[in-house]
């Protein structure tokens, strides 16, 4: 039986936003931790560590995110592990986010003028101290804007979690559409909600670009 699109359906869509935000937060925080290690590995003094980090980035940037989510979700079941859609989506997005953030931050670290590295070396600073006290604070300013830009992409990418059964905003839209058969209305509202979530972040990213003098790519 076809239902009418009412305020109950609209509230169902709005309530699904919390799961989109939760998944985005988990993936971003996890990706940030992993991305920092990847970025440091990519700029490491050891060639073997740079090679491993480079291979990790190539794998996750060179394969579709949807396939990565499939591999995590169905791969866990293949090995006899029970994993729910939220955990699978969080793991997949975190691994993907670590690769992209790692490469973004690697570029920011290497954007620091060579003179800063040479000055730190001349002072006899150990690698850890050099990175912590001199290089990373400067790189962080450069990294803020592109990192916020990646967060916008990540929020939209959570829609792919609907394919593995996680009921976030896009999946909620599919459920409502299946009950009401009003695809233009339902997905128009879903798109508007995504816009409301992402537009302020996009404006914030542009403002940070101007503040820190970074160039949009």
Condensed to tens digits (0 to 9), the pLDDT of residues 152-168 reads 999 999 999 999 999 99
Structure tokens at 3: 């239902």
**Global confidence as pTM:** 0.89
**Can you tell me the distance from the alpha carbon of 117 to that of 189, in angstroms, rounded to the nearest whole number?**
50
| pLDDT higher than threshold 70 for residue 212 | no
Instruction: Quote the percentage of the chain above a pLDDT of 90.
Output: 69
What does the pLDDT look like over 20-79, one tens digit per residue? 999 999 999 999 999 999 999 999 888 999 999 999 999 999 999 999 999 999 998 888
**Can you tell me the distance from the alpha carbon of 202 to that of 216, in angstroms, rounded to the nearest whole number?**
12
- Give the domain ranges of the chain: 7-212
CB burial readout 38-51, b (16+ within 10 A) else e:
bbbbbbeeeeeeee
What does the pLDDT look like over 113-169, one tens digit per residue? 888 887 877 887 777 888 888 888 889 888 988 999 999 999 999 999 999 999 999
Looking at per-residue pLDDT, the higher value among 4 and 124 belongs to 4
Q: Are the C-beta atoms of 92 and 163 separated by less than 8 Å?
A: no
| Exposed/middle/buried for residue 114 (C-beta within 10 Å: 0-12, 13-18, 19+) | exposed
The fold for domain 7-212 equals MetI-like fold (1.10.3720)
Looking at per-residue pLDDT, the higher value among 192 and 210 belongs to 192
CA contacts within 13 A on the Cβ side of 164: 27
């Amino acid at each position: 039986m076809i239902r009418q699109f009412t305020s109950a359906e609209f509230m169902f869509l709005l309530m699904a936003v919390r799961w989109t935000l939760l998944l985005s937060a988990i993936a971003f925080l996890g990706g940030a931790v992993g991305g920092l290690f990847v970025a440091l590995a990519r700029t490491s003094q050891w060639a073997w560590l740079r090679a491993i980090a480079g291979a990790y980035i190539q794998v996750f940037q060179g394969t579709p995110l949807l396939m990565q989510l499939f591999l995590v979700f169905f791969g866990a079941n293949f090995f006899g592990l029970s994993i729910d859609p939220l955990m699978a989506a969080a793991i997949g997005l975190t691994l993907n986010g670590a690769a992209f953030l790692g490469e973004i931050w690697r570029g920011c670290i290497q954007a620091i003028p060579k003179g800063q590295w040479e000055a730190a070396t001349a002072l006899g600073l150990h690698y850890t101290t050099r990175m912590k006290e001199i290089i990373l604070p400067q790189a962080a300013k450069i990294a803020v804007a592109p990192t916020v830009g990646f967060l916008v992409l990540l929020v939209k990418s959570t829609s792919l979690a609907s394919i593995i059964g996680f009921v976030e905003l896009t999946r909620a839209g599919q459920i409502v559409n299946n009950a009401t058969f009003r695809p233009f209305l339902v997905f128009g509202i879903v798109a508007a909600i995504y816009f409301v979530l992402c537009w302020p972040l996009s404006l914030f990213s542009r403002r940070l670009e101007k503040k820190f003098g970074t160039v949009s790519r």
